[in-house]
Amino acid sequence: MSLLQAIILAIIEGLTEFLPVSSTGHIIIGSSVMGISHDEFTKMFTVCVQFGAILAVVVMYVKRFFRSLDFYYKLFIAFLPAAIIGKLFGDQIDMLLENVLVVAITLLGGGVVFLFIDRWFQEKVERTDSEPSYFSSFIIGCFQCIAMIPGVSRSAATIIGGLVQKMTRKSAAEFSFFLAVPTIFAASVYKLYHFFSEGGTIGKQEIILLGAGNLVAFIVAILAIKFFIYVLVKYGFKFFGWYRIAAGLIILALYFSGKSIAVF
């Protein structure tokens, strides 16, 4: 992996991690197009570069992270379902992560859902609480498990989970951001452990790539979060729905055309 490739993947991560368009799906496609998707360091990098993205959440919402222990209890409850499912089905999930066709289909299907989701929940956004209850936190955590399918989007799944629990769009999105911190941190540590336990090594060049990648992801994620909150509150999900549909159709067209099968 070159420095330019690392920066490109970091930009993709920062732009898409908190938008409901699937960061994992976009990174799989980006690394595939660059021809580095099967490299073991790339697989580790694409997970660890998320540190920069979650740091952006901590910096932007630092006061919320020091509000009360109750906040952390709810995050822990929401985090548990994904932790359990990830532990039980980790190998199967890793296999799906290399399947571009799965990404295309889930992007397309999720996009269709997003075209109608504002209408479905237009009468269910009366609640003004900034945080969910303990039970609602668990339900949102269960929705997060769906995002283990590449292309679904962790952000999309958890926000929809919040809407199901009658949270406002903004509150659901912000709790989704907060939940990303323990979820992504745990996934990154787990990936690092497996990388080193299987004989992986990191030299000076790899450290530079990880450092630069996380810095870029941090800066881009801050801008993406602000953009997402603005669009979500003002316009809803339709914009992201049309984007997902377009992306899914383009990937399917390339996949079945035979011209780019070797790339993917």
* Nearest one of 63, 49, 61 to 15, comparing CA atoms: 49
Q: Tell me, what's the pLDDT at 96?
A: 61
Give me the amino acid identity at 169: R
Q: Tell me, what's the pLDDT at 130?
A: 64
Q: How far apart (Å, rounded) are the C-alpha atoms in residues 227 and 221? A: 10
Q: Tell me, what's the pLDDT at 78?
A: 94
Q: Tell me, what's the pLDDT at 139?
A: 95
- The domains of the chain are located at 3-257
CB within 8 Å of 46: residues ≥ 6 apart: 9, 13, 24, 27, 31
Q: Tell me, what's the pLDDT at 14?
A: 92
Q: Tell me, what's the pLDDT at 263?
A: 38
> DSSP characters for 69-119?
HHHHHHHHHHHHHHHHHHHHSHHHHHHHTT-HHHHHHHHHHHHHHHHHHHH
In 10 A of CB 175, how many CB atoms?
27
User: What are the residue ranges in the chain where pLDDT is below 50?
Assistant: 123-126, 128, 260-264
pTM: 0.82
